[in-house]
Chain A
Amino acid sequence: MISYLLRRTAILLGSLFLAAVALFVLLRLLPGDPANALLPVGATPEQIEAARRQLGTDAPLLDQFGTWLGHVFTLDLGKSLISTLPVGPEIVTRLPVTVPLTLAAFVLAVLVAVPVGVLAAVRADRWYGPVLNAVAQFGIAVPAFWVGLLLITVFALRLQILPAGGFPPDGWASPGLAIEALVLPVITVALVMSASLIRYVRAATLDVLGADYLRTARSLGMSRSGAMRRHGLRNAAVPVIAVLAMELATTFLGAVVVESVFALPGLGGLLVRGIAQHDYPVIQGVMLVSTATVLVVGFLGDLAQRLVDPRLRNRAAS
């Protein structure tokens, strides 16, 4: 377990460092001088030089990287080139939209996917087992933004029972409006995520159904559902837990796209605007926070799996 923990931590730190390097290098080396974003068209070479000095982009690349990484460690993500507001606080003000959206969608997806996936596997011989599987197959092929568009059409424009987009200006100070604004986005992300999750749960359950220990339990007189509850579900849970962490990360990314569909002022909106305006500090900041979140969630998921399944722990130790 210790050697695994060390190796996995090394991978996490390596990934975080690589992410920082990749973000820095790609945004600095590719065409497009950040100084241009500050200046009007037709600026003189002197003005460009001054803007570069102001941004610090005239220093050698390695020095720039060191300075930037140093600032990141002190949680200073720089200032937006467009609004000149600091990026860090800007990201923090957007978390109250993205975090509840991600977590609620994730919980809803798990609540839907686990029973449906188990049912699709256990009842594979009834008519609804294959039907549930087919629905999930359909679901993984549907892009999240299209689901959002269809939900807006039905519930916001036709039935007019929920808002089509936006978020109350005072945020969670008006909780009713905030929750209403998040209902459709949460359902959108959860629907798409549950489709792939259903397939994982179904596959894990099918594996367990053919296992010898389940047959032994049945031969010892346990009922089919009893054996499934006592032995089956616990074993099926192990691979599913590994997938859950991955799914939480995917849910977060799905939220980033779906926020644009519903015009929500979250991290996704900030990122898309930053890319459109070539606002490099904003892009760097949001990307860094997103990638770090995904990497850390994956790390925690791997550890959780080891803690839940003693067999994996022992294998790692030997």
Chain B
Amino acid sequence: MSSTASPPDLSPAPQSDPSPASARAGAGSRRRSLHLVIGLVLVGIIAGGVLISYFWLPFAPDDTSGGRLVPPGGDHLLGTDKLGRDLLTQLLIGGRIALATALGAVAVGGVLGVSFGLLAGFATRWLDDAAAVVLDILIAFPTLLLAMLLVAGAGASLTTAILAIGLAMAAIVARLTRVLVKQVLGRDYITAARIAGVSWPRVVASHVLPNIAPVVLVNLALQAGLAVLAEASLSYLGLGTPPPNASWGRMLYEAQATVLTAPAAALAPGLALVALVIGMNLTADGLRDLADPRRAAR
């Protein structure tokens, strides 16, 4: 999203705002763009590490020649795990899984959610009520329980985890999209476009989607962080990515038994996880204020 993207015309900013909030707006928006920068840097560092891991890894993922539970330093920058695998290598591979989860779940949740939300936004009368109720019901299901249910049926795998998290996300995105579409459809420029003879598909493509995009994208950035956390929880419980693939959640589970002798193994994946999720949350925060300058006044 570029910084020149026009804010959604959903809530016109007041012409003059006498509240003291506007006096702090300058400092507020500076702080918010700082959020965006820190967020992008955190996500960028991890994405960079993952990118490098496809061309170069410190050791082969299954190389156990270094010995078990070697302390950090020397050949093994972060040490080795209890099977003798290099921890930094595992950490980089775990980053692939975390990013794959975030991208996959956001793709599934975004495509399904926006499509269904668009359809529901156009629905009227009882169909509209029915769509609203169905979405309310779906959202009431906790993501983690839905994911566990799918894992119970289809077996633990990264694909199952991504699909389950993406499906749960789709309901949330659909509800948001539906509300936004309804607001946009009530605008005069839609009526004007229709009177000018523009077809509905073109109205959606050139007016509806561009107007709802900023808010939906911010929500997806926030959901990406939650998706990463959900996958880590599943993997920690042994219900996510199966071994030998090193998901950060799985690494933390394995590190629990040897936490006193090898604290690095219990710290590094957790810190990486927190850095990625904070990065995604801060990015969403910063994007939100680009999309809605009025909020930045806080």
Contact = CB atoms under 8 A, between A and B. Distances in A.
Contacts, number: 127
13 contacts: A11-B136, A32-B155, A137-B278, A138-B278, A141-B277, A143-B232, A152-B256, A152-B259, A249-B142, A260-B236, A261-B236, A283-B152, A291-B145
Contacts of A55: none
A22 interface: yes
A26 interface: yes
Interface stretch (A39-47, A65-73, A271-279): A271-279
B77 interface: no
A253 B150 contact: no
Q: Is the interface of B mostly helix, strand, loop or mixed?
A: helix
A26 B137 CA distance: 17
A11 B274 contact: no
Nearest to B226: A140
A153 B141 contact: no
Contacts of B133: 10-11, 14
B281 A141 contact: yes
Interface in B122-162: 133, 136-137, 140-142, 144-145, 148-155
A283 B145 CA distance: 11
A40 to B, nearest CB: 21
A138 B270 CA distance: 13
Interface string A216-256: 00000000000000000000000000000000011001001
A140 to B, nearest CB: 7
Interface of A: 10-11, 14-15, 18-19, 22-23, 26-27, 29-32, 137-138, 140-146, 149-150, 152-153, 157-158, 206, 210, 249-250, 253, 256-257, 260-261, 271-272, 274-276, 278, 280, 283, 287, 290-291, 294-295, 298
Nearest to B263: A153
Given A26-B153, A283-B152, A210 B19 contact: yes
Interface of B: 19-21, 133, 136-137, 140-142, 144-145, 148-155, 225, 229, 232-233, 236-239, 249, 252, 255-256, 259-260, 263, 266, 270, 273-274, 277-278, 281-282, 298
A32 B145 contact: no
Contacts of A152: 256, 259
A275 B278 contact: no
Q: Lowest 7 CB-CB distances: which A-B pairs, in order?
A: A30-B153, A141-B277, A146-B270, A141-B278, A15-B137, A275-B152, A145-B236
